[in-house]
Amino acid sequence: MATLPVRLKFWGVRGSTPTPQVENLGFGGNTSCVEIVAPSGESLIFDAGSGIRNLGNEMMRRAAGEPLNVSLFLTHYHWDHIQGLPFFVPLFSPKNKVAFYTGLDSRPVQDVLEGQMSKPYFPIGLDQVAAKREFQVIPEGSSMSVANCTVTPFPMNHPQGAAGYRIEVAGKVIVYATDYEHGDPRLDSVLLDHARNSDVLICDAQYTPAEYETHRGWGHSTWLNAASIAKSCCAKRLFLFHHDPTHDDAFLTALEAEAQAVFPNTHVAREGREIEL
Ligand SMILES: [Zn+2]
Ligand SMILES: [Zn+2]
């Protein structure tokens, strides 16, 4: 029997805040959310930005009334990575189980998420939703196995910290490295090590090199740095991710061409795009 491919779909690619304005909708206005579907058909979700709302609706449709076992990995707790959670429909069915994982051990993940989804910010607390919930930190230096995928978190340079993830499944390697600023020699080499020989590298590219000069310390990188990493770590394919709210479709199209001159197999991540590998 032929092995089914690994699939990856972008549900939200925008950084900082959703931008539902017409000039941005070609690449998309929803914030960070990426789905990896293993050959078994099980999904792993990375981040719960506003893009997770549409993914939740789609997962409920696919489940067709059967229980859902959701595995959600969070990079960190800035708004643009958790703001879709209250609108993630699988949370509201007693049949479902949602497991929250993170490689970030600075604060208890359950406290942080329950603190966000509570009154007066939202009428239903995360501690009251119908789905069963589980919270787990993956300690630095270890991996965890979910749906035949091996997920290895690694620390990244970002205000309050963020975890990147290396995902190995069916002989393929996907690396999710958003909310990362280059320039810390130790953490730069941690990223290079984890991204080595990846089939797909999804990398923070919020700024142009010129914009970066006035945004040092904000926790984000440039398309040029992302392209250099992809080259150095021999990635096969690079997706520029976490687009700045001010970068409209025309701007991102031009930027993609510039980045391709440095690393030819570069794409600007686009909401709704699905790839097979
Ligand atoms: Zn972010
Ligand atoms: Zn952040």
Domains by residue range for the chain, with CATH: 7-276 (3.60.15.10)
Distance (Å, rounded) from C-alpha 55 to C-alpha 68? 13
Question: pLDDT tier at 178 (50, 70, 90 boundaries)?
Answer: very high
Nearest partner of 29 among 42, 17, 20, judged by Cα = 20
Residue pointed to by tokens 């600023």? 181
Give the number of other CB atoms < 10 A from CB of residue 157. Answer: 21
Ligand nearest to the CA of 181: 2
Nearest partner of 38 among 200, 172, 164, judged by Cα = 172
pLDDT of the residue at 105:
87
157 has pLDDT over 60: yes
Q: What is the mean pLDDT of the chain?
A: 97
Collapsed DSSP state (helix, strand, coil) of residue 173: strand
Give the number of other CB atoms < 10 A from CB of residue 94. Answer: 10
Report CA(250)–ligand 2 centroid distance (Å): 25
Collapsed DSSP state (helix, strand, coil) of residue 267: strand
107 has pLDDT over 90: no
Q: What is the pLDDT of residues 28-75, one digit of tens each?
A: 999 999 999 999 999 999 999 999 999 999 999 999 999 999 999 999
Output the CA–CA distances (angstroms, integers) from residue 11 to 28, 36, 55, 209, in the order listed.
Answer: 9, 11, 7, 26
Report CA(169)–ligand 1 centroid distance (Å): 25
Q: What is the pTM of this model?
A: 0.97
Judge whether 166 and 151 are in contact, CB under 8 Å: yes
Report CA(47)–ligand 1 centroid distance (Å): 10
pLDDT of the residue at 245:
98
Ligand nearest to the CA of 160: 2
240 has pLDDT over 60: yes
pLDDT of the residue at 222:
98
Ligand nearest to the CA of 50: 1
